[in-house]
Amino acid sequence: MTASRTYRLWVAVATCVMILMGIVAHATTPRYARAIAVARELRQQPDSVAKQRYVPDTLRRIKLVVPDSLQALYRYTDGVRAQTIKGDTAEAIRLYREALKFDPNYAPALYRLAVQMQRSHSEEALEYARRAYGIDSTNRWYATAYGQSLLINNKGDEALDIYRRLMQIDKKNPDHYRIVAILYQQRKQPYTAISVLDSADMRFGKNPYLSEMKRSLLISTGQMDRAIKEAEQIVEEAPYELENHLSLGDTYLSAGKDSLAGVAYRRALEMDSTSVQALGAYADYCSSQRNMKGYLATLRLLYARPEFPLERKLELFGRLTSDRKFYGEHYFALGALASTMALHYPTDKRTIDLYGDHLIAGGEIDAALQHFKLHLKDEPPQMDYYMAVIDMEEYLGHTDSLDHYVQRAMEVFPDDPTLQIRKANRLYVRGDLHGAIATFEQALEMVQTDSLRGQIWGYIGDTYNAIKERVESEKADTTGYKMRLSAKKAQKKSFEAYERSLALYSENAMVMNNYAYFLSLRGEQMERARQMSERAIKLESNNATYLDTYAWILYYMGELEEARTYMRQALSLDRTGSAELPLHYGDILFALGERFMAETYWRKALEQGADAKRIEQRITIPKDTPKGTRIEDIIKE
């Protein structure tokens, strides 16, 4: 086959490929018509007419000669093939741009570039679309690309003109009416938008998307009768479309026709009782009617649907339970939602925690305990579940079971200092104070942060002080654990531990409070004790125990009126029923010379569990004791 015949064959093939790939959509343009005419002429021309300039990719192994007038066409053709057959968008854009180098006004290449670059280079795409539209404003493809580019670049006013023109040159496309209506709506011209949609109705009949838009516009402009008629017509056109009944319900509800709205929503549910959309709409309807029973019952059905995202279920449950009154009134119905989530998402930690917390909130501690115990074997194991079980066993007073689960948790999480701390606390409660200190010291080896290390040293300081009090106590020790330190040695170690604690974590309010209190009892470093106590109540201003300590230090320092003020605050905030607070207040009032009120608070302390001997010692103090005398100056406790 000669080169001339090969060349002519390629021209014919290229022309066919362009037609088959949709280029015929642009063949009505004058430039395209000229290009095709040139291609036809080439079939009749001898080989010597053109110089060899460009070899199309499809026939790159055959040396051909191509006239300059077809260079843009060939690049464009190869660009279409790279885009549609190979899926190589970058190569297609490169070839389209090469086509424009040969012919800057080659409209098909401008159009393709505008479409391809709308999302990534919107301003550049707009320029390409503008040029293509300027070359042939009658081409609906070019006009559409131009309108889209204007919208993407937030040029709504210019886009409105283009889409209004598209309504004339592309009369079979209802989407142009939709966009024009939206643009008028954005310009706050809802009545004009409605008029456009009315025109669409006349041309296309009832279109569900356009009708839904018109319905919303009619509601927003207060044309309720027209909105209802529109919604009813949609239902008549497609009575088996669930969404149409929901739209009718929404319209009735907006018009204040609540009973008709309920009928429409229930009809939608009859059509598909599992529809998330229908369930959600009916739940909202029940809520608007204050029908909480129907609302929560519908929510339970909705929560059973996997199509309704778990994140939305959790978020809605959180909002419903944030109102404590509502939560209490509908505890069991809300519990049904929690149990439904736990049933359908049995391995999701969020639903496990939520259901357990719900049971605890309702006082169902035993049920919550069993719930978390069931998940102790989950993989991977969760420390939260073990801690929940431990806390509830402690709350219920199940000491043996508590020790069992602490030990079990330590076996699963051997390097967790939190569990060592819990074990040490258990030893402290049982009276094994030396064992508690040893366990706290083991926890220190596992800790990674100075703040937690400081807290542990604070616990050690408290434990050494407990040893000191145990040694000094006149009561028989019933714990069975012998103390291996003198009171003086234990006190020294206690203060050393507090110092180490504050060196690591200087803002530990509990340590500052305890250290300050024990210093005041010994009458040592009173100014420092006052500063530490004052800092503790600034960190936790509503802590009754800390306020009691500060008042007691002021009492020791002779600042009785100020001590009375802070002790009153402590009593008003106390929720523990501590006997120490009224006892201390009575001592302060005694020093102020208010003997009658002092005895009142001493007797109150006795009612709350204070040692009867201590109260008797105070009551029997002579009546003529001078004002300003401290109890400690009379009684050796």
| 3-state SS string for 213-259 | HHHHHHHHCCCHHHHHHHHHHHHHHCCCCHHHHHHHHHHHHHCCCHH
DSSP codes, 419-476: HHHHHHHHHHHHT-HHHHHHHHHHHHHH---HHHHHHHHHHHHHHHHHHHHHHH--SP
Euclidean distance between CA atoms 273 and 177, whole angstroms: 35
The separation between CA 112 and the C-alpha centre of its own chain, rounded to angstroms, equals 42
Contact 453, 494 (CB under 8 A): no
- Specify whether the CB–CB gap between 511 and 500 falls below 8 A: no
Query: Which residue is associated with the tokens 């500063």?
Result: 531
Residue ranges of the chain with pLDDT lower than 70? 1-69, 474-478, 636-637
- The CATH code that applies to domain 531-633 is 1.25.40.10
User: Among 133, 127, 131, 173, which residue's Cα sits nearest to residue 152?
Assistant: 127
Dihedral sign from CA coordinates of 204, 176, 80, 119: negative
Q: Look at residue 207 in the predicted model and tell me its pLDDT.
A: 83
pLDDT of residue 29: 46
Cβ proximity of 566 and 580 under 8 Å: no
- With tokens 């305990």, the residue in question is 369
The label of the residue with tokens 């741009």 reads 97
Assess contact for 88 and 96: CB atoms under 8 A: no
The residue type at 272: D
Give the C-alpha separation, 285 to 411, whole Å. 53
Stated pTM of the model? 0.64
Distances, alpha carbon 307 to alpha carbons 52, 301, 316, 414, in Å: 63, 12, 15, 41
With beta carbons less than 8 A apart as the criterion, state whether 108 and 96 touch.
Answer: no
Instruction: Find tokens 């201003």 and name the residue.
Output: 541
Distance CA 622, CA 619 (A): 8
C-alpha to C-alpha distance for 307 and 560, rounded to whole angstroms: 68
Sign of CA dihedral 582, 584, 586, 592: negative
d(CA 383, CA 411): 12
Using left for φ > 0, alpha for ψ between -120 and 50, and beta otherwise, residue 432 falls in beta
For 553, what's the count of Cα atoms within 13 Å in the CB-facing half-sphere? 27
Query: Domain boundaries in the chain?
Result: 531-633
Token pair, residue 127, equals 């320029």
pLDDT of residue 31: 46
Q: Which stretches within 255-330 are classed as H helix?
A: 258-271, 276-288, 292-303, 310-322, 324-329
Question: CA–CA separation, 482 vs 22, rounded Å?
Answer: 97
Q: Quick one: DSSP state of residue 477?
A: P
Q: Which amino acid is at 606?
A: L
Q: Whole-angstrom Cα distance, residue 218 to residue 32?
A: 46
C-alpha 174/C-alpha 152 separation (Å) is 20
Q: CA 196 to CA 185: how far, in whole Å?
A: 11
Going by C-alpha positions, the residue among 548, 432, 529, 411 that lies closest to residue 481 is: 432
CA distance 139 to 169: 8
**At which residue do the structure tokens 């009379």 appear?**
634
d(CA 317, CA 217) in angstroms, rounded, equals 33
Cβ atoms of 279 and 265 closer than 8 Å = no
